[in-house]
Amino acid sequence: ITAVYTENISLDERKSTLKEIMKIERLDDYELEFGVQKVSVTVPVLENTGIQQIDVPVVIKNRKKGYSYLPSSVSVKFNLVPPNGVVPDVKSYGAFIDALEIDFRDADFEGRDSITRTAEIHVKGLDEDDENRIIQVTPLTVNVQITKE
């Protein structure tokens, strides 16, 4: 199960966070029964008037010696709620791929110069306040072309 659906939630004209007990939608296509009939749902509602978007470059850390890495995207977009409407400083945020998390072996290169793997993008703020301002980051993963040098 990748998701459990509830009855529809209307957010029209809502100006604050929604916290309600909702019924779980029945899945008639499957012979599944849930042990609970209702769940607690929290939907944060934020004013979007102050949301700003910045591009943050993606760096690759912990490169394995003898390999080069080329990500399909060299930057990610951060949607942020800046303090007091001030334009956020790109230097306050970072995005990186940890090459040690990319799973591959020398045998994967048999008969080819390069391979492609999907890698997670890690994001961070300079401090906790900066991190708490992050609403959304896209993309969260990228394809990385790995070439044996």
Report the CATH fold assignment for 52-148.
RNA Polymerase Alpha Subunit; Chain A, domain 2 (2.170.120)
> pTM to 2 decimals?
0.65
Give the distance from CA 51 to its chain's centroid.
17
Listed residue (89, 99, 102, 83) closest to 56, CA to CA? 89
Residue 27 has pLDDT above 80, yes or no: no
Instruction: Express each pLDDT in 78-119 by its tens digit.
Output: 988 877 777 788 899 999 999 999 999 999 999 999 999 999
CB atoms within 10 A of CB 124: 14
Angle at 132 between CA 127 and CA 138, to 5 degrees: 105
Show Cβ contacts of residue 32 under 8 Å, excluding neighbours closer than 6 positions: 1
* pLDDT of 16 strictly over 80: no
Q: Where are the domains of the chain?
A: 1-45, 52-148
Supply the mean pLDDT for the chain. 86
Q: What is the DSSP letter of 111?
A: T
Residue 52 clears pLDDT 90, i.e. is over it: no
CA atoms within 13 A on the CB side of 45: 12
Residues with Cβ within 8 Å of residue 106, at least 6 apart in sequence: 148
The per-residue pLDDT for 82 is 79
Q: Distance of alpha carbon 141 from its chain centroid, rounded? A: 7
